[in-house]
Chains A and B, each alone.
Chain A
Amino acid sequence: MNPVVHINPLDRAIPCLPGETLLDCIRRAGVRLAGDCGGRGTCGRCRVEIERGEADRREAAPVEAGSVLACGVRPRENCRVTIPPESLEANPEVLTTHSFPGVGAGAYAPGAPAVECRTVRIPPPEMHDARSDAERVRAHVSAEQDSPVSSLDYRVLTTLSTDLRGNDWTVSVATYRGEIIRVGAPDLAPLTLAVDIGTTTCALYLLESAGGREIDTMGVENPQAPRGADVVTRLAAAIHDPGHDLQRTIMEGIGTHATRLCERNGRRPEDIVHALFVGNTAMHHLFLGLPLEQLVNAPYVPATTAEITLKSRELGLPFAPGSVTRWLPNVAGYVGGDMVATLLAAGVLQNRDNQLYLDIGTNTEMCLATPERLYMLSAPSGPAFEGAHMEHGMRAAPGAIDTVATGAGPTGAGPTARTGTPFTYTTIGGGKPRGICGSGILDLICAAREQGLIDWRGRLRQGELVVVPADEAAHGRAITLSQRDIRQFQLAQGAIACGVIILARSAGISPEDITGVVVAGAFGTHINMNNALKLGMLPVPESTPIRQIGNAAGAGACLAAVDAGAAESIQTILEEIRYVELVTAPEFKTTFARATYFKRTPAERDTSNTKGAAK
Chain B
Amino acid sequence: MNTKKITELLVELEEDKVYDAVDEAIAAGVSGREILKASQAAMATIGEMYKREEAFVADMMFAGEIMRNILTRIQPLLEKEGGKGATLGKAIIGTVKGDIHDLGKDVVMIALEGNGFEVIDLGVDVPPEKFVEALKNNPDAKVVGLSVFLTSAFPSTEKTVKAIADSGKRGQVKIMVGGAPVTEVVARETGCDYFAEDAAAGVSFTRSVYGV
Partners in one complex: yes
The answer to whether B12 touches A593, judged by C-beta atoms less than 8 angstroms apart, is: no
The answer to whether B98 touches A298, judged by C-beta atoms less than 8 angstroms apart, is: yes
CB interface residues, B 68-96, toward A, < 8 Å: none
CB interface residues, B 4-39, toward A, < 8 Å: 5, 8-9, 12-14, 17
Residue A457 at the B interface, CB < 8 A?
Answer: yes
The distance from the CB of A239 to the nearest CB of chain B, in whole angstroms, is 9
The answer to whether B106 touches A589, judged by C-beta atoms less than 8 angstroms apart, is: yes
* Contact-residue size bin, chain A (C-beta under 8 Å from the other chain): 20 to 34
The answer to whether B14 touches A609, judged by C-beta atoms less than 8 angstroms apart, is: yes
Q: Which residue of chain B lies nearest to A590 when distances are taken between CB atoms in the complex?
A: B65
**Which of B55-63, B138-146, B189-197 lies at the binding interface?**
B55-63
Q: Which residue of chain A lies nearest to B63 when distances are taken between CB atoms in the complex?
A: A593
Contacts beyond the supplied A298-B124, A590-B65, A593-B58: 11 A-B pairs with Cβ under 8 Å: A298-B125, A457-B59, A487-B56, A491-B58, A494-B58, A583-B102, A589-B65, A589-B106, A596-B56, A608-B17, A610-B12
Q: Which residue of chain B lies nearest to A494 when distances are taken between CB atoms in the complex?
A: B58
Question: Chain A residues near B166 (CB, 8 Å)?
Answer: none
C-alpha gap A483/B102 in the complex (Å): 23
**Contacts between chains A and B (CB distance < 8 A), count:** 54
Given A298-B125, A457-B59, A608-B14, the answer on whether A614 and B98 have CB atoms closer than 8 Å is: no
Residue A484 at the B interface, CB < 8 A?
Answer: yes
C-alpha gap A541/B17 in the complex (Å): 25
* Contact-residue size bin, chain B (C-beta under 8 Å from the other chain): 20 to 34
C-alpha gap A530/B100 in the complex (Å): 35
Given A298-B99, A298-B100, the answer on whether A610 and B62 have CB atoms closer than 8 Å is: no
The answer to whether B98 touches A483, judged by C-beta atoms less than 8 angstroms apart, is: no
The answer to whether B53 touches A612, judged by C-beta atoms less than 8 angstroms apart, is: no
A-B contact pairs, 16 of them (CB 8 A): A297-B98, A298-B98, A298-B124, A457-B13, A490-B58, A494-B58, A583-B100, A589-B61, A589-B106, A590-B61, A592-B61, A593-B59, A593-B61, A596-B58, A608-B14, A610-B8
The distance from the CB of A607 to the nearest CB of chain B, in whole angstroms, is 10
| A positions within 8 Å CB-CB of B | 296-299, 457-459, 483-484, 487, 490-491, 494, 583, 589-590, 592-594, 596-597, 608-610, 612, 614
The answer to whether A484 touches B100, judged by C-beta atoms less than 8 angstroms apart, is: no
The distance from the CB of A16 to the nearest CB of chain B, in whole angstroms, is 27
Question: Chain A residues near B8 (CB, 8 Å)?
Answer: 610
C-alpha gap A583/B57 in the complex (Å): 16
C-alpha gap A609/B18 in the complex (Å): 11
C-alpha gap A457/B65 in the complex (Å): 16
The answer to whether A594 touches B152, judged by C-beta atoms less than 8 angstroms apart, is: no
C-alpha gap A483/B54 in the complex (Å): 9
Q: Which residue of chain A lies nearest to B99 when distances are taken between CB atoms in the complex?
A: A298
The distance from the CB of A594 to the nearest CB of chain B, in whole angstroms, is 6
Given A296-B152, A609-B14, A610-B9, the answer on whether A590 and B99 have CB atoms closer than 8 Å is: no
Q: Which residue of chain B lies nearest to A608 when distances are taken between CB atoms in the complex?
A: B17
C-alpha gap A596/B12 in the complex (Å): 15
The answer to whether A297 touches B14, judged by C-beta atoms less than 8 angstroms apart, is: no
The answer to whether A609 touches B58, judged by C-beta atoms less than 8 angstroms apart, is: no
C-alpha gap A592/B57 in the complex (Å): 11
The distance from the CB of A1 to the nearest CB of chain B, in whole angstroms, is 35
Given A298-B99, A593-B62, A594-B62, the answer on whether A490 and B56 have CB atoms closer than 8 Å is: yes
Q: Which residue of chain B lies nearest to A596 when distances are taken between CB atoms in the complex?
A: B58
Question: Chain B residues near A589 (CB, 8 Å)?
Answer: 61, 65, 102, 106
Shortest 3 CB-CB distances between A and B: which pairs? A593-B61, A596-B58, A593-B62
Given A490-B58, A491-B58, A608-B14, the answer on whether A593 and B65 have CB atoms closer than 8 Å is: yes
The distance from the CB of A456 to the nearest CB of chain B, in whole angstroms, is 9
Question: Chain A residues near B65 (CB, 8 Å)?
Answer: 589-590, 593
The distance from the CB of B14 to the nearest CB of chain A, in whole angstroms, is 6
C-alpha gap A298/B58 in the complex (Å): 24
Question: Chain A residues near B106 (CB, 8 Å)?
Answer: 589
C-alpha gap A484/B100 in the complex (Å): 25
The distance from the CB of A615 to the nearest CB of chain B, in whole angstroms, is 9
C-alpha gap A516/B193 in the complex (Å): 54
The distance from the CB of B83 to the nearest CB of chain A, in whole angstroms, is 27
Question: Chain B residues near A593 (CB, 8 Å)?
Answer: 58-59, 61-62, 65
The distance from the CB of A398 to the nearest CB of chain B, in whole angstroms, is 32
C-alpha gap A486/B17 in the complex (Å): 26
C-alpha gap A610/B100 in the complex (Å): 37
